[in-house]
Structure 1
Amino acid sequence: MTLTVGLSKVVLVVYGFTLITGLPANILAFYTFFKKVRQRSTPMDVLLLSLTISDLIFLLFLPFRMVEVANMKWTLPYFLCPLSGFIFYSVIANSVLHLTAISVERFLGVAFPIKYKLKRNPRSAGIACIIFSVVSMGHCSIIYIMQYHNHFNPNISDPSKRNTCYEEFTDEQLKILLPFRLELSVVFFLIPFIICCFCYIQCIRILSRLSNVNVKKRYRAIGMALGTLLVFIICFMPFNISHWEGFISGQSSKWRQPALLTSTLNACLDPFIFYFSSSALRGTFKKVLQGLAARFLLPCCRSALYCPLFNRGKPDERTQSTDDSIR
């Protein structure tokens, strides 16, 4: 992607917004789920904790991308280029698999509440999280392969001497990369999206038929379903469409990197999905907000009551009370 000054500012704003909002929210979620898993865990808690760790790793490596965008070229040590790209894309793929597993867990809990409650096992969820990470990292190792592919060819410039990161590809590299991107799109978007749609549509249908379900719980379940599907559509769909467009055209899509911007927003949108799916996190958010209000808002309100500017034109309460007592 050829960065212009205007485009680099837009990218920095998106990355900065993701980092500023996503980091504190995910730290709070990590604290909540880690505490919950240590006490009494469920498969959902394990999945949410694993997804939170994945998002935090993503956010910790996001500043490397921000430095590249700010300088409009790669100026950091070159070994960080494939490493940051590997983490970047692995986390996106890993998030898709985790969100899909969460949708399946929700569907089983709603469709078969008694059977699933008896058979669910947090250890199985932990094994699934490990498998998701291994599959994601295994697929995204293509970044290292492409970055150093045909490295000793005298006709190809040394990757470490380039000022771009994972952008320039030869025709020989594209013959390998474009079909692989298509396969990534199928495995890490199309199939998971179909599964999520089925699971959440079924959940909504089942909950809408049950009259004895609490209204708030029903709305939270529907909110989680719609939120997850919106994350798929807004965050993941544009980037994966660029894979299909690149495969059909036979070249790397020109708008692939701008489409990737929406995928970064996933790291700050995930905590909102967590909010609908975990009562523990809702309680933690409530305590934090109450603590912030007590620390910052109440002192401001108290100081405003005694501020001469705030009480301009009003008689002093102590003077008024004295006058009333005299009368």
Structure 2
Amino acid sequence: MINLGISDSLFIAFLPIKMAESARGGAWTLPAVYCPIYLIFHFGSIYASVLFLTALSVGRYLSVAFPIRYQMYKRPRYSCAVSLGLWILVASHVSFIFLVEAAGGGGQGGAANASVCYGNFTGAQLDLVVSLRLELCVVLFLLPLAVTTCSYLGCARALGRSQLPRRKRNKALRVAAATLFLYVACFAPYNLSHLVGYARHENVAWRHDVLLLSAANAFLDPLVFFCSSSALQRAAKVRWHGARQWTGARKERLTRFWHSAISREKGPGVDLPRPASPSP
């Protein structure tokens, strides 16, 4: 969960650069050396979110299907090792950006030329880009999608056979269905552009539009996991109740101050009008 939050935060942190680029019609106004660095964090955060959502789905399935054995083998060092492995997997794949730079030989068609970042490719670059995008789609999306789908279907079967109360079982099923729906809706269109680009051997123009759905995932993930965590919901209720008490106390103090101010203005011995008591 922490690593998913880190990947979503990285994506949001670099999102203003993408917004500024889109507002200028795709023109890259920063120095060319920053383009590959920006793209590494941009693509890396997207696919890191995919992999960590997959890891969470596997963890949920194991906790439902094999609760006792899962708790026996659940250790922080194992989680850290898996997280580190996923980060290394993402970093090794997004490093293809530097391969694109090398294929362009530093010419005008490089990943970052004078006006466009990762948009105008030479023939040699395009051959490499469409192939590597296909590899990204298969390894970092289609395979995790298959694992995630199987995990949540396994969760549904295990919950159907469990003795949990119906209310808790239905809540868990709704959370699983919502998470899987967001997973597909946010990441599938962008990765579909990789498949279309490979089939047509071109840099499809609408891939920048469907990237907005991937951006939405960074904002929807916290909502989904808030709904799935009873501890977070209880903490939110406590905070909300405390905020209401604090607001009520401040409101009462302001009311008393207002009445005392009116009393001083009217002088001593003058009572404030009181609201009429309701008729019996």
TM bracket (short chain): 0.7 to 0.9
**Is the deviation greater in 213-222 or in 236-245?**
213-222
Q: Deviation of residue 84 (structure 1)?
A: 1.6
Secondary structure of the structure 1 residue equivalent to 2:117: coil
Does the aligned pair in 1 maintain the 2:36–2:112 contact within 8 Å?
A: no
Q: Measure the CA separation in 1 of the matches of 2:106 and 2:33.
A: 17
Tell me, yes or no, if the aligned pair for 2:97 and 2:111 is still in contact at 8 Å: no
| Aligned partners of 1:58 and 1:91 also within 8 Å | yes
- Letter of the structure 2 residue corresponding to residue 183 of structure 1: E
**1:170 and 2:118 correspond:** no
Residue in 2 aligned with 1:17?
none
Does structure 1 retain, via aligned residues, the 8 Å contact 2:104–2:124? no
> Do residues 243 (structure 1) and 197 (structure 2) align?
no
Q: Aligned match of 1:97 in 51, 58, 64?
A: 51
Change (3 A) 1:119 1:139: same
Query: Could you say what secondary structure the match of 2:104 adopts?
Result: coil
The equivalences for 1:1-327 within 5 A come to 48-72=1-25, 73-153=27-107, 156=108, 161-210=113-162, 212-294=163-245, 319-320=273-274
* Unaligned residue ranges in structure 1 (runs of 5+): 1-47, 308-317
CA separation in 1, counterparts of 2:96 and 2:30? 21
Relative to 1, partners in 2 of residues 1:158 and 1:143: Cα closer, same or farther, differing over 3 Å?
closer
| Per-residue CA distance 1:278-303 (angstroms, 9 max, x = gap) | 33332333344445545568867997
Comparing 120-129 with 140-149, greater Cα deviation is found at 140-149
- Any conservation in 2 of the 1:223–1:276 contact (CA below 8 Å)? no
Task: Identify if the C-alpha distance between structure 1 residues 286 and 75 changes in structure 2 by more than 3 Å, giving closer, same or farther.
Answer: farther
TM-score, L = length of structure 2: 0.83
TM-score by length of 1: 0.72
Aligned residue type for 1:263: S
- Which has the higher Rg, Structure 1 or Structure 2? 2
CA deviation after TM superposition for structure 1 residue 110, in Å: 0.7
Identical-pair percentage: 35
- Name the residue aligned to 2:269: none
Could you tell me how far 1:269 is from its partner in structure 2?
Answer: 1.1
Alpha-carbon separation, structure 1, partners of 2:249 and 2:91: 48
How many residues are paired up? Answer: 265
Looking at structure 2, the residues matched to 241 and 159 of structure 1 have their Cα atoms a distance apart, in angstroms, of 21
Residue type of the alignment partner of 2:140: F
C-alpha distance in structure 1 between counterparts of 2:248 and 2:36, whole Å: 46
SS of the residue corresponding to residue 121 of structure 2 reads coil
Distance in 2, Cα, partners of 1:214 & 1:265: 33
